[in-house]
Copies of this chain bind each other. A is one copy, B any other.
Protein backbone atom coordinates (compact mmCIF):
# COMPACT_ATOMS: atom_id res chain seq x y z
CA UNK A 1 0.00 0.00 0.00
CA UNK A 2 1.17 3.51 -0.67
CA UNK A 3 1.02 5.88 2.25
CA UNK A 4 1.56 9.58 1.82
CA UNK A 5 3.84 10.82 4.55
CA UNK A 6 4.30 14.29 5.96
CA UNK A 7 7.79 14.35 7.37
CA UNK A 8 10.01 11.30 7.24
CA UNK A 9 10.23 11.39 11.04
CA UNK A 10 6.80 9.85 11.26
CA UNK A 11 8.23 6.68 9.74
CA UNK A 12 9.61 3.69 11.54
CA UNK A 13 12.71 2.48 9.71
CA UNK A 14 13.99 1.00 7.49
CA UNK A 15 11.45 2.53 5.10
CA UNK A 16 11.48 2.51 1.32
CA UNK A 17 10.61 6.00 0.07
CA UNK A 18 9.60 7.14 -3.38
CA UNK A 19 9.80 10.86 -4.11
CA UNK A 20 6.77 11.29 -6.34
CA UNK A 21 7.77 14.41 -8.26
CA UNK A 22 11.18 12.93 -9.06
CA UNK A 23 9.49 9.74 -10.25
CA UNK A 24 7.14 11.86 -12.36
CA UNK A 25 10.10 13.52 -14.08
CA UNK A 26 11.59 10.11 -14.89
CA UNK A 27 8.23 8.88 -16.17
CA UNK A 28 7.77 11.93 -18.37
CA UNK A 29 11.28 11.57 -19.77
CA UNK A 30 10.63 7.96 -20.78
CA UNK A 31 7.08 8.54 -22.04
CA UNK A 32 8.31 11.43 -24.19
CA UNK A 33 10.93 9.22 -25.77
CA UNK A 34 8.43 6.48 -26.64
CA UNK A 35 5.91 8.99 -28.01
CA UNK A 36 8.60 10.59 -30.16
CA UNK A 37 9.75 7.21 -31.46
CA UNK A 38 6.19 6.04 -32.11
CA UNK A 39 6.83 2.77 -30.31
CA UNK A 40 4.71 1.03 -27.68
CA UNK A 41 5.64 1.08 -23.99
CA UNK A 42 5.16 -2.00 -21.83
CA UNK A 43 7.16 -1.19 -18.65
CA UNK A 44 8.61 -4.03 -16.61
CA UNK A 45 7.18 -4.08 -13.07
CA UNK A 46 9.71 -6.39 -11.39
CA UNK A 47 11.32 -3.41 -9.67
CA UNK A 48 8.37 -1.12 -9.08
CA UNK A 49 5.91 -3.85 -7.99
CA UNK A 50 3.11 -1.57 -6.78
CA UNK A 51 -0.04 -1.63 -8.99
CA UNK A 52 -0.75 2.04 -8.27
CA UNK A 53 2.60 2.95 -9.85
CA UNK A 54 1.85 0.66 -12.80
CA UNK A 55 -1.52 2.40 -13.18
CA UNK A 56 0.28 5.75 -13.23
CA UNK A 57 2.43 4.44 -16.11
CA UNK A 58 -0.68 3.45 -18.05
CA UNK A 59 -1.98 7.00 -17.58
CA UNK A 60 1.37 8.30 -18.83
CA UNK A 61 1.18 6.35 -22.07
CA UNK A 62 2.08 2.71 -21.43
CA UNK A 63 -0.44 0.26 -22.91
CA UNK A 64 0.38 -2.70 -20.69
CA UNK A 65 2.99 -4.09 -18.32
CA UNK A 66 5.74 -6.69 -18.31
CA UNK A 67 6.17 -9.09 -15.38
CA UNK A 68 8.91 -11.56 -14.47
CA UNK A 69 6.62 -14.27 -13.12
CA UNK A 70 3.07 -15.39 -12.46
CA UNK A 71 3.00 -13.96 -8.92
CA UNK A 72 3.69 -10.45 -10.21
CA UNK A 73 1.10 -10.84 -12.97
CA UNK A 74 -1.49 -11.88 -10.36
CA UNK A 75 -0.89 -8.66 -8.43
CA UNK A 76 -1.28 -6.55 -11.58
CA UNK A 77 -4.34 -8.47 -12.81
CA UNK A 78 -5.98 -8.17 -9.38
CA UNK A 79 -5.50 -4.41 -9.64
CA UNK A 80 -7.42 -4.35 -12.93
CA UNK A 81 -4.52 -4.23 -15.40
CA UNK A 82 -5.36 -6.35 -18.46
CA UNK A 83 -2.46 -6.38 -20.93
CA UNK A 84 0.31 -8.29 -19.16
CA UNK A 85 3.39 -9.94 -20.68
CA UNK A 86 5.20 -12.50 -18.54
CA UNK A 87 8.65 -12.24 -20.10
CA UNK A 88 9.80 -15.71 -19.02
CA UNK A 89 8.78 -19.34 -19.30
CA UNK A 90 6.02 -20.61 -17.02
CA UNK A 91 6.56 -24.29 -16.27
CA UNK A 92 4.85 -26.89 -14.10
CA UNK A 93 1.22 -27.76 -13.42
CA UNK A 94 0.70 -25.39 -10.49
CA UNK A 95 2.26 -22.38 -12.19
CA UNK A 96 0.40 -23.00 -15.47
CA UNK A 97 -2.90 -23.34 -13.60
CA UNK A 98 -2.24 -20.01 -11.86
CA UNK A 99 -1.29 -18.43 -15.19
CA UNK A 100 -4.48 -19.57 -16.90
CA UNK A 101 -6.69 -18.53 -14.00
CA UNK A 102 -5.72 -14.94 -14.87
CA UNK A 103 -7.87 -15.32 -18.01
CA UNK A 104 -10.22 -13.79 -18.99
CA UNK A 105 -10.03 -10.88 -16.53
CA UNK A 106 -6.47 -10.25 -17.83
CA UNK A 107 -5.31 -10.91 -21.39
CA UNK A 108 -1.96 -12.31 -20.40
CA UNK A 109 0.92 -13.22 -22.76
CA UNK A 110 3.65 -15.72 -21.89
CA UNK A 111 7.07 -16.37 -23.48
CA UNK A 112 8.00 -19.88 -24.66
CA UNK A 113 11.24 -21.43 -25.89
CA UNK A 114 10.50 -25.16 -26.19
CA UNK A 115 7.88 -27.40 -27.84
CA UNK A 116 7.40 -29.28 -24.53
CA UNK A 117 6.34 -26.08 -22.78
CA UNK A 118 4.10 -25.17 -25.75
CA UNK A 119 2.41 -28.57 -25.48
CA UNK A 120 1.82 -28.17 -21.74
CA UNK A 121 0.36 -24.66 -22.14
CA UNK A 122 -1.85 -25.71 -25.05
CA UNK A 123 -3.17 -28.77 -23.22
CA UNK A 124 -3.99 -26.80 -20.07
CA UNK A 125 -5.61 -23.96 -22.05
CA UNK A 126 -7.83 -26.37 -23.99
CA UNK A 127 -8.87 -28.12 -20.78
CA UNK A 128 -10.03 -24.77 -19.44
CA UNK A 129 -11.49 -23.69 -22.77
CA UNK A 130 -9.43 -20.50 -22.91
CA UNK A 131 -6.97 -19.18 -25.47
CA UNK A 132 -3.60 -17.98 -24.19
CA UNK A 133 -1.43 -15.44 -26.01
CA UNK A 134 2.13 -16.65 -26.56
CA UNK A 135 5.33 -15.02 -27.81
CA UNK A 136 8.43 -16.96 -28.79
CA UNK A 137 11.51 -15.87 -26.84
CA UNK A 138 14.49 -15.33 -29.12
CA UNK A 139 18.08 -15.39 -27.83
CA UNK A 140 19.55 -12.20 -29.27
CA UNK A 141 22.96 -12.71 -27.67
CA UNK A 142 22.48 -12.62 -23.91
CA UNK A 143 22.59 -16.42 -23.78
CA UNK A 144 20.00 -16.85 -21.07
CA UNK A 145 16.72 -18.45 -22.20
CA UNK A 146 15.23 -18.32 -25.72
CA UNK A 147 15.62 -20.14 -29.02
CA UNK A 148 18.15 -19.04 -31.62
CA UNK A 149 17.09 -16.36 -34.13
CA UNK A 150 16.16 -17.40 -37.66
CA UNK A 151 14.98 -20.91 -38.54
CA UNK A 152 14.65 -22.22 -34.95
CA UNK A 153 12.42 -19.30 -33.99
CA UNK A 154 10.31 -19.62 -37.13
CA UNK A 155 9.87 -23.32 -36.47
CA UNK A 156 8.73 -22.81 -32.87
CA UNK A 157 6.46 -19.97 -34.01
CA UNK A 158 4.80 -22.34 -36.51
CA UNK A 159 4.42 -24.91 -33.75
CA UNK A 160 2.66 -22.38 -31.51
CA UNK A 161 0.50 -21.05 -34.33
CA UNK A 162 -1.14 -24.41 -35.04
CA UNK A 163 -2.09 -25.03 -31.38
CA UNK A 164 -5.82 -24.48 -30.82
CA UNK A 165 -5.38 -23.45 -27.17
CA UNK A 166 -2.81 -20.78 -28.00
CA UNK A 167 -2.83 -17.47 -29.84
CA UNK A 168 0.52 -16.82 -31.51
CA UNK A 169 1.34 -13.17 -30.84
CA UNK A 170 4.92 -12.71 -32.04
CA UNK A 171 8.47 -12.55 -30.69
CA UNK A 172 10.34 -11.32 -27.64
CA UNK A 173 14.03 -10.74 -26.92
CA UNK A 174 16.22 -8.92 -24.40
CA UNK A 175 19.55 -7.38 -25.39
CA UNK A 176 20.69 -7.44 -21.75
CA UNK A 177 24.28 -8.29 -22.64
CA UNK A 178 24.74 -4.77 -24.06
CA UNK A 179 23.61 -2.65 -21.11
CA UNK A 180 27.03 -2.12 -19.56
CA UNK A 181 29.07 -1.33 -22.66
CA UNK A 182 30.73 1.97 -21.75
CA UNK A 183 31.50 3.39 -25.21
CA UNK A 184 28.30 4.93 -26.64
CA UNK A 185 29.07 4.07 -30.28
CA UNK A 186 30.02 0.52 -29.40
CA UNK A 187 26.91 0.11 -27.28
CA UNK A 188 24.69 1.44 -30.05
CA UNK A 189 26.25 -1.04 -32.48
CA UNK A 190 25.79 -3.96 -30.08
CA UNK A 191 22.15 -3.06 -29.42
CA UNK A 192 21.47 -2.67 -33.15
CA UNK A 193 23.03 -6.05 -33.84
CA UNK A 194 21.06 -7.84 -31.10
CA UNK A 195 17.72 -6.20 -31.86
CA UNK A 196 18.43 -6.68 -35.58
CA UNK A 197 18.44 -10.44 -35.02
CA UNK A 198 14.99 -10.15 -33.46
CA UNK A 199 13.44 -7.88 -36.09
CA UNK A 200 14.95 -9.88 -38.96
CA UNK A 201 13.45 -13.03 -37.46
CA UNK A 202 10.10 -11.23 -37.21
CA UNK A 203 10.35 -10.36 -40.92
CA UNK A 204 11.15 -14.00 -41.74
CA UNK A 205 8.19 -15.18 -39.68
CA UNK A 206 5.86 -12.80 -41.52
CA UNK A 207 7.31 -13.97 -44.84
CA UNK A 208 6.45 -17.50 -43.73
CA UNK A 209 2.84 -16.43 -43.20
CA UNK A 210 2.97 -16.11 -39.43
CA UNK A 211 0.90 -13.26 -37.93
CA UNK A 212 3.58 -11.42 -35.91
CA UNK A 213 1.86 -8.64 -33.95
CA UNK A 214 4.36 -8.17 -31.14
CA UNK A 215 8.12 -7.60 -31.38
CA UNK A 216 9.05 -6.83 -27.79
CA UNK A 217 12.48 -6.05 -26.31
CA UNK A 218 14.50 -3.31 -24.60
CA UNK A 219 15.07 -2.28 -21.02
CA UNK A 220 16.03 0.87 -19.15
CA UNK A 221 19.69 0.25 -20.00
CA UNK A 222 18.98 0.29 -23.77
CA UNK A 223 15.66 2.06 -24.37
CA UNK A 224 17.10 5.25 -25.84
CA UNK A 225 18.63 3.16 -28.63
CA UNK A 226 16.11 0.32 -28.92
CA UNK A 227 13.07 2.57 -29.16
CA UNK A 228 14.46 4.08 -32.37
CA UNK A 229 14.98 0.80 -34.22
CA UNK A 230 12.41 -0.07 -36.85
CA UNK A 231 10.57 -3.34 -36.50
CA UNK A 232 10.31 -3.05 -32.71
CA UNK A 233 6.65 -2.70 -31.66
CA UNK A 234 7.12 -2.25 -27.90
CA UNK A 235 9.85 -1.62 -25.31
CA UNK A 236 9.89 -3.17 -21.82
CA UNK A 237 11.88 -0.48 -19.94
CA UNK A 238 10.36 0.17 -16.51
CA UNK A 239 12.98 0.34 -13.75
CA UNK A 240 14.20 3.74 -14.96
CA UNK A 241 11.21 5.47 -13.39
CA UNK A 242 12.82 4.83 -9.99
CA UNK A 243 16.45 4.62 -11.18
CA UNK A 244 19.34 3.53 -8.94
CA UNK A 245 23.11 3.44 -8.54
CA UNK A 246 23.52 0.55 -11.00
CA UNK A 247 21.58 2.28 -13.79
CA UNK A 248 23.48 5.53 -13.32
CA UNK A 249 27.00 4.24 -12.72
CA UNK A 250 27.04 1.10 -14.85
CA UNK A 251 24.52 1.73 -17.64
CA UNK A 252 24.80 5.47 -18.36
CA UNK A 253 21.13 6.07 -17.52
CA UNK A 254 20.87 9.77 -16.69
CA UNK A 255 17.65 9.58 -14.68
CA UNK A 256 17.23 10.89 -11.15
CA UNK A 257 17.06 8.71 -8.03
CA UNK A 258 13.39 8.50 -7.06
CA UNK A 259 13.67 5.65 -4.54
CA UNK A 260 15.70 5.68 -1.34
CA UNK A 261 15.77 3.57 1.80
CA UNK A 262 15.49 5.61 4.95
CA UNK A 263 17.39 4.30 7.98
CA UNK A 264 17.81 5.46 11.57
CA UNK A 265 21.28 6.01 13.01
CA UNK A 266 21.59 3.49 15.84
CA UNK A 267 25.21 4.11 16.84
CA UNK A 268 28.04 6.65 16.36
CA UNK A 269 30.97 4.70 17.81
CA UNK A 270 33.54 7.11 16.30
CA UNK A 271 33.26 10.54 14.63
CA UNK A 272 33.88 8.82 11.27
CA UNK A 273 31.52 5.86 11.71
CA UNK A 274 27.74 5.75 11.37
CA UNK A 275 25.74 2.60 12.10
CA UNK A 276 22.16 2.62 10.82
CA UNK A 277 19.32 0.12 10.77
CA UNK A 278 19.17 -0.90 7.10
CA UNK A 279 21.26 -3.92 6.16
CA UNK A 280 21.30 -6.88 3.82
CA UNK A 281 17.69 -7.72 4.45
CA UNK A 282 16.55 -4.22 3.48
CA UNK A 283 18.92 -3.59 0.54
CA UNK A 284 20.79 -5.61 -2.04
CA UNK A 285 24.54 -5.20 -2.34
CA UNK A 286 25.50 -7.68 -5.04
CA UNK A 287 25.24 -5.40 -8.09
CA UNK A 288 26.39 -2.26 -6.26
CA UNK A 289 27.03 -1.26 -2.67
CA UNK A 290 24.26 1.06 -1.42
CA UNK A 291 25.26 4.71 -1.40
CA UNK A 292 24.50 6.73 1.73
CA UNK A 293 23.25 10.22 0.93
CA UNK A 294 24.99 11.78 3.92
CA UNK A 295 26.97 14.96 4.35
CA UNK A 296 30.64 14.39 3.57
CA UNK A 297 32.57 11.85 1.55
CA UNK A 298 31.97 8.17 2.27
CA UNK A 299 34.98 5.87 2.55
CA UNK A 300 33.24 2.51 2.79
CA UNK A 301 29.93 0.81 3.48
CA UNK A 302 29.70 -2.64 5.09
CA UNK A 303 26.40 -4.43 5.53
CA UNK A 304 25.37 -6.91 8.18
CA UNK A 305 21.96 -8.58 8.28
CA UNK A 306 20.03 -5.59 9.64
CA UNK A 307 22.57 -2.76 9.77
CA UNK A 308 24.97 -0.74 7.62
CA UNK A 309 28.34 0.49 8.90
CA UNK A 310 29.24 3.68 7.04
CA UNK A 311 32.81 4.94 7.33
CA UNK A 312 33.28 8.64 6.49
CA UNK A 313 36.48 10.14 5.08
CA UNK A 314 36.37 13.05 7.53
CA UNK A 315 35.21 13.10 11.16
CA UNK A 316 31.73 14.39 11.70
CA UNK A 317 30.66 15.17 15.23
CA UNK A 318 27.37 14.35 16.83
CA UNK A 319 24.54 16.69 16.05
CA UNK A 320 22.54 17.87 19.02
CA UNK A 321 19.07 16.83 17.91
CA UNK A 322 16.76 14.98 20.27
CA UNK A 323 15.07 13.18 17.38
CA UNK A 324 16.62 10.02 15.99
CA UNK A 325 18.93 10.85 13.13
CA UNK A 326 18.14 9.37 9.75
CA UNK A 327 20.17 8.37 6.71
CA UNK A 328 18.70 7.90 3.23
CA UNK A 329 20.50 5.35 1.05
CA UNK A 330 20.20 4.44 -2.61
CA UNK A 331 20.52 0.81 -3.61
CA UNK A 332 19.81 -1.40 -6.59
CA UNK A 333 16.11 -0.89 -7.27
CA UNK A 334 16.26 -3.22 -10.26
CA UNK A 335 17.56 -6.36 -8.60
CA UNK A 336 17.98 -7.88 -12.01
CA UNK A 337 21.70 -8.21 -12.72
CA UNK A 338 24.33 -10.39 -11.10
CA UNK A 339 27.35 -8.51 -12.36
CA UNK A 340 29.46 -6.62 -9.89
CA UNK A 341 30.59 -3.07 -10.39
CA UNK A 342 32.94 -0.97 -8.31
CA UNK A 343 31.81 -0.09 -4.82
CA UNK A 344 29.55 2.87 -5.34
CA UNK A 345 29.71 3.72 -1.67
CA UNK A 346 33.28 4.87 -2.07
CA UNK A 347 32.38 7.70 -4.43
CA UNK A 348 31.52 11.15 -3.37
CA UNK A 349 27.81 11.87 -3.03
CA UNK A 350 26.51 13.67 -6.08
CA UNK A 351 22.77 13.57 -5.71
CA UNK A 352 21.94 15.63 -2.69
CA UNK A 353 19.45 17.65 -4.68
CA UNK A 354 17.52 14.54 -5.61
CA UNK A 355 17.13 12.92 -2.24
CA UNK A 356 18.66 15.38 0.18
CA UNK A 357 20.51 14.02 3.18
CA UNK A 358 18.39 14.37 6.26
CA UNK A 359 21.12 13.07 8.51
CA UNK A 360 21.46 15.56 11.33
CA UNK A 361 18.62 17.66 10.02
CA UNK A 362 14.94 17.09 10.23
CA UNK A 363 12.22 16.94 7.65
CA UNK A 364 14.43 18.36 4.96
CA UNK A 365 12.40 16.53 2.34
CA UNK A 366 9.13 18.17 3.18
CA UNK A 367 10.82 21.55 3.63
CA UNK A 368 11.72 21.44 -0.02
CA UNK A 369 8.13 20.77 -0.91
CA UNK A 370 8.73 17.30 -2.28
CA UNK A 371 5.91 14.84 -2.10
CA UNK A 372 6.89 11.57 -0.49
CA UNK A 373 5.23 8.27 -0.53
CA UNK A 374 6.27 5.34 1.60
CA UNK A 375 5.79 1.92 0.14
CA UNK A 376 5.97 -1.35 2.05
CA UNK A 377 4.08 0.13 4.94
CA UNK A 378 0.57 -0.96 5.70
CA UNK A 379 -1.66 1.71 7.15
CA UNK A 380 -2.66 0.95 10.71
CA UNK A 381 -5.66 3.22 10.65
CA UNK A 382 -8.36 3.86 8.08
CA UNK A 383 -7.34 6.89 6.06
CA UNK A 384 -9.50 9.84 5.20
CA UNK A 385 -10.79 9.43 1.64
CA UNK A 386 -9.34 12.71 0.39
CA UNK A 387 -5.69 11.63 0.26
CA UNK A 388 -4.02 12.29 -3.04
CA UNK A 389 -2.78 8.83 -3.95
CA UNK A 390 -6.05 7.12 -3.11
CA UNK A 391 -8.06 9.69 -4.96
CA UNK A 392 -5.99 9.47 -8.09
CA UNK A 393 -6.05 5.70 -8.39
CA UNK A 394 -9.39 4.99 -6.83
CA UNK A 395 -10.43 2.64 -9.61
CA UNK A 396 -7.27 0.61 -9.21
CA UNK A 397 -7.68 0.38 -5.46
CA UNK A 398 -11.27 -0.74 -5.77
CA UNK A 399 -10.36 -3.34 -8.35
CA UNK A 400 -7.86 -4.88 -5.98
CA UNK A 401 -10.31 -5.60 -3.19
CA UNK A 402 -11.15 -9.10 -4.24
CA UNK A 403 -10.79 -11.67 -1.50
CA UNK A 404 -7.76 -13.91 -1.88
CA UNK A 405 -6.50 -16.82 0.10
CA UNK A 406 -4.14 -15.69 2.80
CA UNK A 407 -1.76 -18.44 1.81
CA UNK A 408 -1.09 -16.99 -1.60
CA UNK A 409 -0.61 -13.53 -0.18
CA UNK A 410 1.92 -14.50 2.44
CA UNK A 411 3.84 -16.81 0.16
CA UNK A 412 4.13 -14.16 -2.50
CA UNK A 413 5.36 -11.63 0.03
CA UNK A 414 7.98 -14.02 1.31
CA UNK A 415 9.53 -14.49 -2.08
CA UNK A 416 10.40 -10.91 -2.81
CA UNK A 417 13.52 -9.10 -1.86
CA UNK A 418 12.80 -5.62 -0.74
CA UNK A 419 15.14 -3.05 -2.09
CA UNK A 420 12.67 -3.28 -4.95
CA UNK A 421 9.22 -2.07 -4.11
CA UNK A 422 7.26 -4.95 -2.70
CA UNK A 423 3.74 -5.95 -3.52
CA UNK A 424 3.27 -7.51 -0.10
CA UNK A 425 1.21 -4.75 1.41
CA UNK A 426 -0.78 -4.33 -1.78
CA UNK A 427 -1.70 -7.98 -1.79
CA UNK A 428 -2.54 -7.82 1.86
CA UNK A 429 -4.77 -4.91 1.02
CA UNK A 430 -6.62 -7.21 -1.35
CA UNK A 431 -7.78 -9.38 1.55
CA UNK A 432 -9.76 -6.77 3.45
CA UNK A 433 -9.64 -3.01 3.24
CA UNK A 434 -8.08 -2.07 6.59
CA UNK A 435 -6.91 -3.73 9.76
CA UNK A 436 -8.06 -7.26 8.88
CA UNK A 437 -7.48 -8.81 12.28
CA UNK A 438 -9.34 -6.06 14.12
CA UNK A 439 -12.14 -6.29 11.59
CA UNK A 440 -12.30 -10.06 12.03
CA UNK A 441 -12.47 -9.69 15.78
CA UNK A 442 -15.25 -7.15 15.53
CA UNK A 443 -17.28 -9.41 13.28
CA UNK A 444 -16.71 -12.51 15.38
Contacts and interface: CB of A to CB of B under 8 A. Distances in A.
Contact of A410 (B89, B282, B334, B424): B424
Given A14-B415, A88-B307, A417-B418, A410 B432 contact: no
A247 to B, nearest CB: 14
Interface in A389-444: 403-408, 410-411, 413-418, 420, 422, 424-425, 428, 431-432, 435-441, 443-444
Interface stretch (A30-38, A161-169, A250-258, A268-276): A268-276
Interface stretch (A75-83, A190-198, A227-235, A375-383): A375-383
Contact of A266 (B88, B147, B284, B286): B88
Copies of this polypeptide in the complex: 2
B440 A440 contact: yes
A324 interface: yes
A146 B81 CA distance: 50
Nearest to A381: B407
Given A303-B338, A337-B304, A275 B428 contact: no
B89 A275 contact: yes
Contact of A89 (B267, B338, B340, B413): B267
Contacts of A335: 280-281, 305
Contacts of A92: 12-13, 264, 324
20 contacts: A12-B92, A12-B411, A88-B307, A89-B266, A92-B324, A144-B304, A145-B309, A146-B267, A281-B335, A281-B417, A284-B286, A302-B338, A304-B336, A378-B410, A380-B408, A403-B438, A405-B435, A406-B428, A414-B422, A432-B440
A49 to B, nearest CB: 10
Most buried by B among A12, A280, A282, A309: A280
Say what secondary structure dominates the interface of chain A.
loop
Given A147-B269, A284-B280, A420-B281, A410 B407 contact: no
Interface in A130-151: 139, 143-147
Contacts of A378: 406-407, 410-411
B418 A435 contact: no
A315 to B, nearest CB: 15
A362 interface: no
A114 B268 contact: yes
Contact of A145 (B91, B94, B269, B338): B269
A113 interface: yes
A131 B303 CA distance: 32
Residue of A46, A268, A437 contacting most chain B CB atoms (<10 Å): A437
Contacts of A265: 91
Contacts of A424: 410, 413-414
A324 B91 contact: yes
A406 B88 contact: no
A143 B338 CA distance: 29
Interface of A: 12-14, 46-47, 68-69, 88-95, 113-114, 117, 139, 143-147, 264-269, 273, 275, 277, 280-282, 284-286, 289, 301-307, 309, 324, 334-338, 340, 376-380, 403-408, 410-411, 413-418, 420, 422, 424-425, 428, 431-432, 435-441, 443-444
B440 A114 contact: no
A366 B54 CA distance: 43
B306 A46 contact: yes
A408 to B, nearest CB: 8
Contact of A437 (B143, B306, B403, B414): B403
Contacts of A439: 440
Contacts of A414: 376, 413, 418, 422, 424-425
Contact of A405 (B90, B267, B303, B437): B437
Contacts of A425: 410-411, 414
A310 to B, nearest CB: 11
Nearest to A111: B267
Contact of A12 (B94, B282, B284, B438): B94
